[in-house]
Amino acid sequence: MIRAFFADRRGAYAVIMGILAIPLMLSVGLGVDYARYLRAQAHLQSLADAASLAMAASRSPDEASLRKIGDDFIAANSSDKDLDHVRVASLTGTTEKVDLTLEATLPTTFMALANIDTMNVHANSLAIRAVSGSVEVSLVLDNTWSMSEMADASTTKIAALKKAASDLVNEVFKDNDAPIKVGLVPYADYVNVGTQNRGASWLNIPADYSVTHKGSCQTITSKQGACLAYAPQKTCTSNTDGIISTYQCGGGCTKYAADVPVTPYQSCSNDYVTNYTWYGCVGSRANGQDPILSDEHPSRRYPGYLDTSQHCLNPIVPLTDNKNTLVSAINNLIINIGGYKPSTYIPAGIMWGINELSPSAPLTEAQAYDPDNVKPRKVMVLMTDGYNTLQFRASDGRHVGFDANKEADERAQSNANAAALCDYAKKRKIEIFSVAFIVSNPTATADDRAKEDEARALLQGCAADAQHYYDATNSEALAQAFSGIAQSLTNVRLAR
């Protein structure tokens, strides 16, 4: 055919080839432009996926903020050789997801011969914000009497804590399919493990008992006379868990009138009974003279204490996937009961945070430790608003006040016990977030400021690293701290 074409002088082949050249060139051009379209589509999809993840990672639900992030990302990462006018076509941002659609134009090459100068390119991506992988979290929260102080003009510390902790729980549980469990350890001077555990093998609790006080009678031969002189009243101060309060004291009678003789008569008191029972309060396990600072000896039992009234507050909530149970327990946190105003012993809270995350007794809801802390990821959130005001007593495991002559050394030992527990938790690869909540008091004495500095140093040392420590100076900062922790527990991933 080729020889015939070159030999023929009639021009028929040339005419035919000339006629066929245009559609042939258009076909080739269409193939070239289509290949460019596929490459541009892939580039735009990658850009949409990466931009949606960047937006979701910001944690902001505000669409204006998200759009700014998207525009900046597109400007920095889009390829001019593949696409023109890349822009956000639609955007929906919530606390749960970022739904993004990008559009762009692709200048054609050969198709322009057919008056098709550009092709439109679209790409859609959906990034969700949710927990990824198995996670176990223990919330170790201070509910001592100092939490009754005001965090700001209208909110107490305990109210701010309830809001921040509830928001964290709601955040991590917003994906109902996420394999996550959360536990709660309210702590003060003691931890309440719940009276339903009374028969547990890991507890050592004596039997309840009663003491009967017999009434008595005495013969009265005279009545006390009237008071003739009183001591002057004055203002006294008391310190309960770091809170200084004032009250009027003095004013007692210093001089009485002579007793007045009366016809003798008998005055009698009735019998009464004092009941001693267990309200769920436990102390620390002892090992000789020292507390046991690990979960490696589950056969060692915790001492439970009998009392005439409740001297520990809310019971712990073991790891659970029931969000409503957790939120209810957080919202019902109290800081005193009756006249009982608890002080602070931080090691007890940390110990029971470890117990919640440990697979061995006393609590067994947790999975086995993972050397990489991935399957599952174990997390402790340790929060306090002050410093240790109690120490461990080796004779019975109780947490008692300091000796006035040895307070500095005894507080240092309580801090050392707390630090040792944090070190043990980190050895087990437990990831610790720590939160100091208004630990600094601007009106504190120099001695109290030193104690506050020690408390902050303790929390910084307990944290996994500097990014895991929060110094919240008001209720808003506390909310931001717990929100930041919640965000670190959730990962962004593509759903579409």
CA angle 486, 492, 496 (to 5 degrees): 145
pLDDT per position as a tens digit, 68-96: 888 888 887 776 666 777 888 888 887 77
Find residue 382's DSSP bridge partners: 140, 434
Spell out a b/e string for 257-279, using b for 16 or more CB atoms within 10 Å of the CB, else e: eeeeeeeeeeeeeeeeeeeeebb
* pLDDT value of residue 157: 96
- Whether the pLDDT of residue 26 is over 80: the answer is no
Q: What is the DSSP string of 152-206?
A: SSS-BHHHHHHHHHHHHHHHHTSSTTS-EEEEEEEESSSEE--GGGTT-TTEE-P
At residue 207 the predicted structure's pLDDT band, cuts being 50, 70 and 90, is very high
Backbone angles phi, psi at 456, to 5 degrees: -65, -40
Instruction: Kindly state the helix (H) or strand (E) to which residue 291 belongs, with its residue range.
Output: strand 290-291
pLDDT mean over 315-343:
96
Helix (H) or strand (E) holding 213: strand 209-213
**Domain assignment of residue 172, yes or no:** yes
Q: Which of 249, 270, 291 is the last residue of a domain?
A: 270
Last residue of a domain, one of 130, 145, 173: 130
Question: Do 140 and 162 reside in the same domain of the chain?
Answer: yes
Amino acid, single-letter form, for residue 36: R
Q: Are residues 385 and 304 in the same domain?
A: yes
Q: Are residues 237 and 257 in the same domain?
A: yes
Over residues 398-404, mean pLDDT: 95
Which two structure tokens, joined as six digits, stand for 289?
């003279």
Report how far residue 185's alpha carbon sits from residue 355's, in angstroms, rounded to the nearest whole number. 10
Residues 27-31, mean pLDDT to the nearest whole number? 60
In a domain, 170, yes or no: yes
State the virtual CA torsion across 474, 476, 478, 484 in degrees, nearest 10.
-150
Q: Are residues 123 and 140 in the same domain?
A: no
- CA 114 from centre of chain: 63
Q: Which of 31-35, 95-99, 387-391, 475-479 has the lowest mean pLDDT?
A: 31-35
pLDDT for 381 beyond 70: yes
Check whether residue 118 and residue 143 sit in a common domain.
no
Residue 66 has pLDDT above 90, yes or no: no
Nearest in space to 313 (alpha carbons), one of 358, 285, 292, 344:
344
Same domain, 7 and 150: no
Number of domains in the chain: 3
Three-state secondary-structure class, residue 238: strand
> Does the structure show a pLDDT above 70 at 311?
yes
Query: Average pLDDT of 42-55?
Result: 80
**C-alpha to C-alpha distances, 355 to 183, 235, 315, 317, 359, nearest whole angstrom:** 10, 45, 14, 12, 8
Residue 275 lies in a domain: no
Structure tokens belonging to residue 34: 């289509």
The neighbouring-strand residues paired with 213 are 272
Measured CA to CA, the distance from residue 338 to residue 365 in angstroms comes to 33
Instruction: Give the model's pLDDT for residue 15.
Output: 61
Q: Is residue 50 part of a domain?
A: yes
- Please check whether residue 22 lies inside any domain of the structure: yes
Q: How does DSSP classify residue 64? A: H
Q: Are residues 167 and 26 in the same domain?
A: no
Q: What are phi and psi of 376, to 5 degrees?
A: -95, 170
Does some domain include residue 235? yes
Q: How confident is the model at residue 430 (pLDDT cuts 50, 70, 90)?
A: very high
The greatest distance separating any two alpha carbons of the chain, rounded to the nearest whole angstrom, comes to: 161
Residue 496 lies in a domain: no
Q: CB of 217 within 8 A of CB of 427?
A: no
Distance, CA of 46 to CA of 44 (rounded, Å) = 5
Q: Do 189 and 248 have their domain in common?
A: no
DSSP H helical ranges for 273-375: 323-331, 346-357
Query: Both 429 and 341 in a single domain?
Result: yes
> Whole domain around residue 34: which residue ranges?
2-130
Q: Is residue 237 part of a domain?
A: yes
460 and 313 part of one domain: yes
Q: In the 8-state DSSP scheme, what is residue 367? A: P
| Structure confidence at residue 33 (pLDDT) | 59
CA distance 451 to 408: 9
- HSE-CB of 368 using CA atoms within 13 angstroms: 2
Structure tokens at 422: 């944090």
pLDDT over 90 at 318, yes or no: yes
Same structural domain for residues 313 and 196? yes
Please report the DSSP string for 93-161 in residue order: E-SSEEEEEEEEEEE-SGGGGGT--EEEEEEEEEEEEE--S-EEEEEEEE-SGGGGSBSSSS-BHHHHH
Q: Which of 242, 147, 239 is nearest to 435 (CA)?
A: 147
Contact predicate 414/347, CB 8 Å: yes
Inform me whether the pLDDT recorded for 325 exceeds 90. yes
Give pLDDT tens digits for 95-148.
777 888 988 887 776 666 566 767 787 889 887 766 667 899 999 999 999 999
Tell me: pLDDT of 29 over 80: no
Quote the pLDDT of residue 91: 87
pTM score, whole prediction: 0.75
The closest alpha carbon to 308, from 330, 339, 287, 333, belongs to 339
Q: What is the CATH number of the domain that holds 180?
A: 3.40.50.410
Same domain, 362 and 478: yes
**Range with top average pLDDT, 104-118, 213-227, 406-420:** 406-420
pLDDT band for position 5 (cuts 50, 70, 90) = low
Choose the final residue of a domain: 130, 156, 175: 130
